[in-house]
Amino acid sequence: MAEGRADYIPVRSSDVPALFKQGIIRLDMALIQVSPPDHHGFCSLGISVDVSKAAAESAKIIVAEVNPNMPRTLGDSFLHVDQIDFLVKGNHPLITVVSKEPDVITQRIGRHLSQLVRDGDTIEVGYGTVPNTALAFLRDKKDLGIHTEFFTTGIAELAEAGVITNRKKTLHPGKMVACMCMGDEWLYKFVDNNPMLEFLPSDYVCDPHVISLNDNMVAINSALQVDLTGQVCVDSIGHKFFSGVGGTLDFTDGGSKAKNGRAIIALPSTARNGTVSRIVPKLKEGSGVAVPRSDIHYVVTEYGTAYLFGRTIFERSLQLINIAHPRFRQRLMLAAKKQHYIFADQLPPSLVDNYPEQWEITRSFKNGVPVFFRPIKPVDETMLRDLFYTMSDEAIYLRYFHVVREAPHSRMQHLVNIDYHQEMTIVGITEYRGYPEIIAVALYHLDLESNAAEVSFAIHDTWQGFGLGTFLLKYLATIAKDKGIVTLVADVLAENTKMMKVFRKIFPNLTRKIESGVFSLTMSLKEEFEEIRP
Q: Which of 113, 94, 258 is nearest to 182 (CA)?
A: 94
Give the C-alpha distances (Å, rounded to integers) separating 41 from 16, 35, 57, 64, 71: 28, 11, 17, 14, 16
Q: Which of 48, 99, 215 is nearest to 147 (CA)?
A: 215
Which residues are 487's β-sheet partners?
452, 524
Angle at 201 between CA 199 and CA 202, to 5 degrees: 115
Q: How far apart are CA 1 and CA 7, in angstroms?
A: 6
3 state DSSP class of 105: helix
Other CB atoms closer than 10 Å to residue 414's CB: what's the count? 12
Contact 433, 390 (CB under 8 A): no
Q: How far apart are CA 232 and CA 287, in angstroms?
A: 10
Write the burial class of residue 325 (CB in 10 Å: 0-12 exposed, 13-18 middle, 19+ buried): buried
Angle at 521 between CA 515 and CA 522, to 5 degrees: 135
Q: Which of 329, 352, 378 is nearest to 228 (CA)?
A: 329
Which residues are 198's β-sheet partners?
177
Other CB atoms closer than 10 Å to residue 352's CB: what's the count? 8
In the chain, the N- to C-terminal Cα span, in Å, equals 49
Contact 169, 145 (CB under 8 A): yes
Q: Which of 3, 65, 124, 149 is the catalytic position? A: 149
Q: How far apart are CA 442 and CA 452, in angstroms?
A: 16
Other CB atoms closer than 10 Å to residue 60's CB: what's the count? 10
Query: Using a CB cutoff of 8 Å and minimum separation of 24, what contacts does 382-386 make?
Result: 382/311, 382/312, 382/315, 383/427, 383/429, 383/436, 383/437, 383/438, 384/412, 384/415, 384/416, 384/427, 384/438, 384/441, 385/412, 386/437, 386/438
Dihedral sign (CA 131, 136, 141, 142): positive
Which residues are 523's β-sheet partners?
488
Query: According to the 3-state scheme, what is the secondary structure of 409-445?
Result: HHHHHHHHCCCCCCEEEEEEEECCCCCCEEEEEEEEE
149 labelled catalytic? yes
3 state DSSP class of 318: helix
Q: How far apart are CA 10 and CA 235, in angstroms?
A: 9
Catalytic positions? 149
